[in-house]
Amino acid sequence: ERYLLSTLQALELRAHTGEPMPLVYVALGDSAAQGLGASRYEEGYVPRVAAGLKAATGRDVALLNLSLSGGVAASVLGTQLPQLEGLRVAGKQLMPDVVTLDIGGNDVGIGELSPEEFGGQMSAIADRIPKPAFIADIPTFKPLRSEKRASEMSRHIERSAQTDQISLIRLEELSNSLTTYEYISRYHAGDMFHPNSPWYHRWSQLFVNSIADGLGFESVDMTHVPEWEPWLG
């Protein structure tokens, strides 16, 4: 993520000047957190959530996107969380104010991975992820035959989220509220796998609502939130 190093440098400088720190938002996940399928990166759900947090709180928001295109639960454990745990600001471990995670869509396609093994990985993630954390389940795979497997994996995500200071973002429920035609035709990118900008917009509203509830501030209507601009100090 092209702003990661610059944002870390800005946080380091702010820590040394003694000025108020921005709200630190860390995004973990797969290509959805990278915004693949959106018309532009700024229309992905992660930058939209960052913009929503700024609009709702009035604070600057430092976004650190550590997600990985093609990411799976095992790579969250093996690369993303260790990277986050290794970040230092002013010699101290970085402690984010908000962490979001979407994962599981790629795991559905790993035939040798059992849903139970995936559930064990999600439990391990829930133990390690900094809190408060906001973890999404898997949008429906309808009309594919793998819909049942995706739903079973979502149940494991739901169970892992039954931990203090972890909130579940119910993307499966949202996607199942749509007809199959509407879901496929209105909310998928050209590759028919990744979300498009309108679908990421709806994700961002769910995330911002949940974060606002968890952190105790009033949410905002994401339709009226300006486009995200990186905080670089």
Burial of 71 (0-12, 13-18, 19+ CB in 10 A): buried
- 11 pLDDT more than 70: yes
pLDDT tens digits for range 173-224: 999 999 999 999 999 999 999 999 999 999 999 999 999 999 999 999 999 9
pLDDT tens digits for range 14-50: 999 989 999 999 999 999 999 999 999 999 999 999 9
Alpha-carbon distance values, 144 to 149, 192, 194 (Å)? 10, 12, 14
Residue 45: which of 214, 217, 210 has the closest Cα?
Answer: 210
**Beta pairing class for 92-93 and 88-89:** antiparallel
Q: What is the C-alpha to C-alpha distance for residues 31 and 128, in angstroms, rounded to an integer?
A: 21
Q: Under DSSP, is residue 86 helix (H, G, I), strand (E, B) or coil?
A: helix
- 153 pLDDT more than 80: yes
Instruction: Write down the pLDDT at residue 220.
Output: 98
Q: Which residues pair with 42 in a beta bridge?
A: none
Q: What is the C-alpha to C-alpha distance for residues 41 and 228, in angstroms, rounded to an integer?
A: 10
The DSSP secondary structure of 160-192, one letter per residue, reads HT-STTEEEE-HHHHHHTS-HHHHHHHSB-TTS
pLDDT tens digits for range 72-129: 999 999 999 999 999 999 999 999 999 999 999 999 999 999 999 999 999 999 999 9
Q: What is the C-alpha to C-alpha distance for residues 55 and 192, in angstroms, rounded to an integer?
A: 32
pLDDT band at 162 (very low <50, low <70, confident <90, very high): very high
In our burial notation (b when 16+ CB lie closer than 10 A, e otherwise), range 117-155 reads: ebbebbebbbeebbebbbbbbbbbbbeeeebebbbbbbe
Alpha-carbon distance values, 184 to 40, 69, 180 (Å)? 20, 22, 6
Cβ-based neighbours of 61, under 8 Å, separated by 6 or more: 22, 23, 24, 25, 50, 51, 53, 54, 231
Place of tokens 């391990």: 124
Instruction: Write down the pLDDT at residue 1.
Output: 58
Contact 108, 149 (CB under 8 A): yes
Joined together, the tokens standing for residue 94 give 């970085």
Tell me how crowded residue 202 is: count the other CB atoms within 10 A of its CB: 17
Joined together, the tokens standing for residue 25 give 């938002």
pLDDT band at 3 (very low <50, low <70, confident <90, very high): confident
